[in-house]
Amino acid sequence: MKNKKRIRIIFLAFVLFAGVFAFVQWRNAQQEGEIERYVYPTDFNDCLGVIQKKAKCRIPEEILSEMSVEELVWAVIDYPFLAESLCSSRSHGGISEWAAGISDAFKKLTECRNPENKIIKVLKQAYEEECEDRSKVSLARLVFYDGQRQYFDFSKKQLKFLKGN
């Protein structure tokens, strides 16, 4: 009788332990899937010029080096001066060269090994799900499209998406 009771207690303890372990693993997997978007400053009252504002938007290296490809793509999308890239499209190198020179996140992406599939995945998901960000996502698509061959090697299908056709 005592042996059966012990076996039941051990079995229940094992099931409880396995359940807690499974829950912790599930929570960790959920948290890993979340993308933490870098928040750029919005208060530029202490800045006199555009150069100071852009300097204030620099991402510190210790943060930048820890960012995933997905987080870097979002940092490009959210970059406050991304619209300025359209003015740079006529200059030598175009939009992507401007972005590589001014956006820490874009520059870091150019240093990543084969980021193209992850870039497209984030942009597609953002374009489909983030209605309020759709214009920013469209602009980021153009920036990445312009980076073909110079910084990235997208497939024809990916380029078609980036171009917006």
pLDDT by 10s per residue, the chain, length 165: 667 777 777 767 776 666 666 666 655 544 455 788 999 988 888 877 888 888 889 999 999 999 999 999 999 999 998 888 777 655 555 778 888 888 899 999 999 999 999 999 999 998 888 667 788 899 899 899 988 888 999 999 999 999 886
Looking at the fold, whether 76 and 105 belong to one and the same domain comes out as yes
Looking at the fold, whether 118 and 151 belong to one and the same domain comes out as yes
Q: Residue 2 belongs to what domain range? A: 1-34
Looking at the fold, whether 78 and 153 belong to one and the same domain comes out as yes
Number of domains observed in the structure of the chain? 2
List of residues 6+ apart from 127 with CB closer than 8 A:
134, 137, 138, 141
| Domain annotation covers residue 41 | no
Looking at the fold, whether 8 and 56 belong to one and the same domain comes out as no
Asked if residue 72 lies in contact with residue 37, where contact means CB atoms within 8 angstroms, the answer is no
Per-residue confidence (pLDDT) for residue 66, from 0 to 100: 93
Looking at the fold, whether 8 and 79 belong to one and the same domain comes out as no
| Domain annotation covers residue 65 | yes
Looking at the fold, whether 155 and 127 belong to one and the same domain comes out as yes
- Tell if the pTM clears 0.85, that is, is over it: no
Looking at the fold, whether 138 and 99 belong to one and the same domain comes out as yes
Task: Please provide the size of the chain in residues.
Answer: 165
